[in-house]
Amino acid sequence: MPAIETTALTKRYGEDILAVDGLDLTVEEGEIFGFLGPNGAGKSTTINMLLDFVRPSEGRATVLGYDAQDETGAIRERIGVLPEGATLYERLTAREHVEWVADTKRSTTDVDAILDRVGILEDADRAAGGFSKGMRQRLGLGMALVGDPDLLILDEPSSGLDPNGIQDMRQLLREEAESGTTVFFSSHILSEVEAVCDRVGIMNQGRLVALDSIATLRDEATGEATIEVELASPADPESLAVDSIDGVRGATVEDGAVTAVCETPGVKVDVVRHLDQRATVTDILSSDTSLEELFNQYTGETDALPGDEVGTPDDARDREPEVIA
Ligand SMILES: Nc1ncnc2c1ncn2[C@@H]1O[C@H](COP(=O)(O)OP(=O)(O)OP(=O)(O)O)[C@@H](O)[C@H]1O
């Protein structure tokens, strides 16, 4: 049974806004799934439909096998949720917040252990009203962990966290997944999800434009890679003949520095071997498609767009103007 399954899930706001456009998505049990997309892509709206905070215009969704609209009680008991901008009660302490969720879920969870896991045990008896953004986020995450949920749904979980907090959060998500919990979380930063996710889905303008592991998405992207090789002494470009290497799109030789643009990252090794036979290589600098470039390719920010079975950014860009960004 998939942890989450949506079928043609659609949400319109009024006549003009198509926030989620026929989403078909399956998240398997035990996965850490990153739900990516730029601002306004439809991530929160999708999550809100899974949680029945928002009713779909069309289509349906199941969560842990239950209908997301008709069986919300059964779902709530088994999931943990960190909604976007989680609301806290200013006068309640951190401990009282977690206890309150435990009561609602009829869970005998160890409240202190949870507060410790999210790094706010020392502040357990302070009112949440005085908490920083990061502490609020940690508390929200703690509330989501109550009752050892089978599925965690987290909307932008690292929002407001400092680098240490982001690191702690990643660790916590990994631990949860190791214990069998499915983790579904949204983010608009690709590098943030790369460290923890098994698969990612990239949303753009309400549609899923990519769905795979980041490694595969990288392969499907342009794959272009650049290598710079420093030689011990200036060399004659003709004698180096870097252009003649299979898979090299273009090369420049300036004094002792050779720069080659390769069709795929694998060609970089051929360039180094080739040069090493003709000159003395003293240094190598290499770069692949950056995560940001990759993300931009899928969300239509550049001209070089990778194809994808699920849909392409071209489709997204070509749609009718009533579809908002
Ligand atoms: N209640 C609403 N009424 C009208 N439009 C809405 C409403 N909620 C969301 N939208 C619109 O739907 C689109 C998708 O928004 P959504 O919040 O789902 O995007 P997102 O991917 O979560 O973005 P972000 O990363 O900024 O949180 C946006 O254009 C947004 O303005």
pLDDT in the model for residue 111: 96
- Distance between Cα 45 and ligand 1 center (Å): 6
212: which strand partners? Answer: 200
Domains of the chain: 4-219 (3.40.50.300), 224-287 (3.30.70.260)
- Distance between Cα 17 and ligand 1 center (Å): 9
Q: Ligand 1: which of 45, 153, 154, 208 to mutate, judged by most atoms within 8 Å of the beta carbon?
A: 45
pLDDT in the model for residue 310: 41
CA distances from 156 to 34, 131, 159, 192 (A): 10, 18, 6, 10
What backbone phi and psi angles, to 5 degrees, belong to 80? -120, 135
pTM of the model: 0.76
Rama region for 133: left / alpha / beta (φ>0; ψ in -120 to 50; rest): alpha
pLDDT in the model for residue 255: 86
* Sequential DSSP letters for 82-121: E-TT----TTSBHHHHHHHHHHHTT----HHHHHHHTT-G
pLDDT in the model for residue 128: 95
CA distances from 196 to 176, 190, 226 (A): 11, 11, 27
Q: CA 184, 211, 223 angle in degrees (round to 5)?
A: 125
Q: Which of 179, 104, 114, 168 is nearest to 140 (CA)?
A: 114
pLDDT in the model for residue 222: 64
- Distance between Cα 232 and ligand 1 center (Å): 56
Cβ 40 vs Cβ 316: under 8 Å: no
- Distance between Cα 187 and ligand 1 center (Å): 14
pLDDT in the model for residue 49: 96
Residues with CB under 6 A from ligand 1: 13, 17, 19, 37, 39-45, 188, 324
pLDDT in the model for residue 291: 64
pLDDT tens-digit readout, 221-261: 666 788 999 999 998 889 999 999 999 999 999 988 999 99
Instruction: State how far the Cα of 182 lies from the Cα of 172, in Å rounded to an integer.
Output: 12
The ligand 1 atom at the shortest distance from the C-alpha of residue 48 is 18
pLDDT in the model for residue 11: 97
Instruction: State how far the Cα of 215 lies from the Cα of 307, in Å rounded to an integer.
Output: 15
Residue nearest to atom 11 of ligand 1 (CA): 19
The ligand 1 atom at the shortest distance from the C-alpha of residue 84 is 27
> Around Cβ 208, how many Cβ atoms within 10 Å?
25
pLDDT tens-digit readout, 201-224: 999 999 999 898 877 877 676 667
Give every residue of the chain whose pLDDT is below 70, as ranges. 219, 221-223, 288-292, 301-325
- Looking only at the bridges linking them, the beta strands covering 32-36 and 199-204 are parallel
- Distance between Cα 190 and ligand 1 center (Å): 19
Looking at this predicted complex, what is its ipTM? 0.97
- Distance between Cα 42 and ligand 1 center (Å): 6
